[in-house]
A = this chain, B = another copy of it.
């Protein structure tokens, strides 16, 4: 048992004869001014040592201010992708930066660079990358440090991103590769004094939020105007970018488009993935593939874990002798519709043929006896990419799992120290922030130059990552954290795959599988299991070939869960096109779509998939699920029952059910069951009509392999429903010679 009461609760107990300072209720934005200037009600005189912002419009709805002398190595200054200029023009026009010139105050100190950015009373903050341990960021302190083991809510993350969005309807990017510290809702005594002296604004009661948010938010002076204080260590200046809305979702869209637009995976990437036992040899991989097809469990991608290489920790990138004919294996797999993904990390072992060449382009500390390539140098990227292309991609490998690129303090202190020096000029701290991005770029460049689309895994990322077709994963494993990660990633241009690995029991396996099949990447990672987990969840028995009694029943359940994933591929693909073209995250928190409703502000365990589906995942041990339905009517995906929005619902959740609600009006295409995304069945669709079917839907046809679709080369298939005539219409635009969708039926729900 941990302590029963927080000692800080004392401040609220009645016993004290407390002298409570007057609660300040000023500076609340009137409703409807979201996206307006934050400091509308306060006149902030510039201070002698504060630098005011000179906001320069840089792209539609995006402003930049440079303070001091910004550093050379930052995510934006090193950007690998151009902004999506045209797409940005299609967003609502904004005339004015949402933060006024005095709404941000900058100051160089002996420690680095300090920013203070206004935060209104009741304004909540989200984002900062893959935060597994908290959702609302106001009231917290976060150091954005790349770390594989975020065991505490300190900001440590596989993918910290110095970008936040607020319920005020704008986003802020602090363009730095440093471990910046964010104090979200703190003020100096001087600033607090200035607030107190300012005329109070009219208070809008936030009774609903007060009722729903954990009490902690109110401890944190949530009712008062405050600041986001950001300290960027060592820097003598920093660029700040502000992304206007007017809503939070549009701010995120602008950020993603500024990054270059969201990635668009090939359909096979949206199929099912399975990482097989690390000890498998070539024949065992082929046998596994055959077994999947025999059992009818869908599978698109087989992932190999470390032992495909001759040497790991650090890596040789050479095929192990247990894979005597990788080219032949890849041909066989391809002919059966499989893709192959290879595990690796970048630390290069002396036995690797590229070790010598990489030497001059590596950091000055070894990791596991290997070199750390300086991926910020074009030379290192070329040496690394060329070798990978020749050895793997040319043979048919379609992606990698880029492991261990995220540093660690907690598991043996591996990875390069922060004091490492790299030939490009960055130090280890900066490199930890940039390593994942540059590694993704290095690997993706291979596919780009071969005109191939890809979808891969990576354990580290940072700002401007949206265009990279990589999905984050973790070696942590808490199911609730995995749900939160999925919800949080949408704020920061990241994709998160809550991979299924160990399972406590059959229930846990199913619950985790249900979530992963409604995530950016649907994968079971069975690297420690000789047989699929549905044959036996207990590792020892599994590896001894002892299958659970009646395992076929569990397999059937899993096949069904995975089957749903396959049937949703056309829907998911359209959501990703929207990510690519408009920057709308395919998976996102409710607050991004419904930020005006304070009842969704704290909802960290439900999320939107595309524009029409709302998912409320369930963890093992739970038999009733309490969830909130936002504005509009919603229809239970499983029962067809309709529910009014702006209500809480408590539902029974038998093991077969992960709550999915469909927005009324939706036209939802569902494919026929298929074994893999290349199966023609995935293009034969039934359109489910929900409610009046008034929300048109667009499908996209393309060649699915080349990068053509990334340039907008596809046919659009528009679905509309005539609710009077009860008839559906299909309209195809574009003449591309691509595999065609076939609408085989329309079904009213």
Contact = CB atoms under 8 A, between A and B. Distances in A.
Interface stretch (A26-34, A54-62, A182-190, A610-618): A182-190
A279 B13 contact: yes
Contacts of A11: 312-313, 368
Contact of A111 (B141, B190, B234): B234
Contacts of A152: 149, 151-152, 409-410
Nearest to A540: B4
Contact of A365 (B143, B154, B188, B412): B188
Contacts of A278: 7, 10
Interface stretch (A262-270, A303-311, A389-397, A577-585): A303-311
Nearest to A114: B419
Nearest to A216: B412
Given A139-B413, A234-B110, A18 B187 contact: no
A169 to B, nearest CB: 25
A745 to B, nearest CB: 44
- In the complex, the count of this chain's copies comes to 2
Contacts of A17: 310-311, 320-321
Interface in A406-421: 409-410, 412-414, 417-419, 421
Interface in A300-327: 305-307, 309-313, 316, 320-322
Contacts of A365: 186-189
Given A3-B477, A364-B188, A412-B220, A310 B18 contact: yes
Nearest to A183: B417
Chain A facing B: main interface SS: loop
Nearest to A153: B410
A21 B373 CA distance: 19
Contact of A313 (B1, B10, B216, B421): B10
Contacts of A366: 187, 189, 192
Interface residues of A, number: 91
A724 interface: no
Contacts of A527: 7
A412 B140 contact: yes
Contacts of A155: 409
A11 to B, nearest CB: 4
Given A11-B312, A306-B7, A410-B152, A417 B186 contact: yes
A427 interface: yes
Nearest to A363: B189
A231 B428 CA distance: 12
Contacts of A414: 8
Nearest to A543: B4
Given A364-B188, A477-B2, A320 B10 contact: no
Given A111-B234, A313-B11, A417-B231, A307 B190 contact: no
Given A18-B310, A153-B410, A427 B110 contact: yes
Nearest to A359: B189
A419 B351 contact: no
A55 to B, nearest CB: 24
A5 interface: yes
The list of the 3 closest CB pairs from A to B, nearest first, reads A141-B413, A19-B351, A11-B313
